[in-house]
Amino acid sequence: MENQTRDVFMEEFPPQFASTQRSLTSASPGVQLSPAATSQRIRAGIFPAAIDASRLDEAPFKARHGLMGCKALELESLTQTLLRLPENQVYTINRPLNAGDHFEENVRRARGSKALASTLHNLMDSNSLIVVNSPEVDPSFQPIYQEILASISELAAFRDPRRPVLMPTLYLFIASPNSVTPFHLDRYSTFLFQFRGSKKVAVASPWDSQVISDPDREAYVSYADTTLPWSDERERRMTHFNFHPGEALHIPFVSGHYVKNGPDDISISMSVIFNTQRTMMWRQALNFNHRARRLLRPLNITPSPVGQNALRDAGKARLWQAWLSARARANF
């Protein structure tokens, strides 16, 4: 169940850092309807140009970021930082991956790899991918973490100024030339920042059921099945971005995406993942749909898709919360 399970990357997150991970809120998010989206251009901190905050979680888009020159994100500094982080925060994959491979399973198997030092030394030739969960627990990342947090909070406050950002966490990606991050979705809203090297990023519209079917999306968000079908037809429906240092890319909640790194250099990028009141409502509604779909299947009834009607999604989210509360009381 969603309130009992964390993302694969979060499974071994050190408990002493839980307050850092949730630095902007300690309360459980409720369910509220968002105001109607109207254009709202905001100049927020690390983004030199104004961004239309109403586009958050509506469509992928690129922007410039002002984080270049951060010493903590230079390869020499990163090598020292990664070697002193707890092993269960670093995932090292030392083999080629394809877009259709099972992303979460590959990362799960790579947790706590002992090959980190040699991988860092041979990145240009090893076809490797290093994923780092929550580098902000290291003091060298705290300044950039706070800058990013303040900026995305300004953008997210367009919809809910009281608690704009929930569960904010950084992920760091260091990858060999030509390496691939397989197709997957995030149970969060995401901004990806590029610092070194180039890559191509393909991103689907967040609720495109021809890229990810409604049952597959619900199962993935519910942690029931994180296998996603992949095909050339799906790729053709996605938006393709050429991504370079100094650029940021917004990947909406549950937008399927994959990454192919450029051929000329190591890639260093970092993402911030976070939830909002609206994405938490969607998460709960998707969990509701996944369970309801199984119960209604014998009756040949299909639950209405999430992401199309805010009132309906809010109702499903409330029902999901009520069911969790009832189950908790029954198990007390």
pLDDT tens digits, 165-217: 999 999 999 999 999 999 999 999 999 999 999 999 999 999 999 999 999 99
Look at residues 202, 201, 199, 204 and name the one whose alpha carbon lies nearest to residue 216.
204
Q: How long a stretch of residues is the chain? A: 332
- Can you tell me whether residue 25 is helix, strand or coil? coil
Say what the pLDDT of residue 22 is: 37
Residue 94 and residue 54: Cα distance in Å, rounded? 40
Q: Where are the domain boundaries for CATH 2.60.120.10 in the chain?
A: 2-14+41-276
Say what the pLDDT of residue 38 is: 60
**Is-contact 195 201, C-beta < 8 A?**
no
Residue 261 and residue 197: Cα distance in Å, rounded? 8
Say what the pLDDT of residue 113 is: 61
> How many other C-beta atoms can be found within 10 angstroms of the C-beta atom of residue 208?
16
φ, ψ (nearest 5 deg) of residue 4? -115, -5
What is the band of 117 on the pLDDT scale with cuts at 50, 70, 90?
A: confident
Residue 45 and residue 26: Cα distance in Å, rounded? 24
Q: What is the pTM of this model?
A: 0.86
Strands (E), 20-138: 41-42, 51-52, 61-64, 90-93, 129-133
Q: Mean pLDDT lowest for which of 28-37, 206-215, 247-256, 274-283?
A: 28-37
Say what the pLDDT of residue 13 is: 32
Residues 23-59: tens digit of each pLDDT: 333 333 333 334 445 668 888 889 999 999 999 999 9
Look at residues 47, 102, 21, 24 and name the one whose alpha carbon lies nearest to residue 249.
47
CATH hierarchy code of domain 2-14+41-276: 2.60.120.10
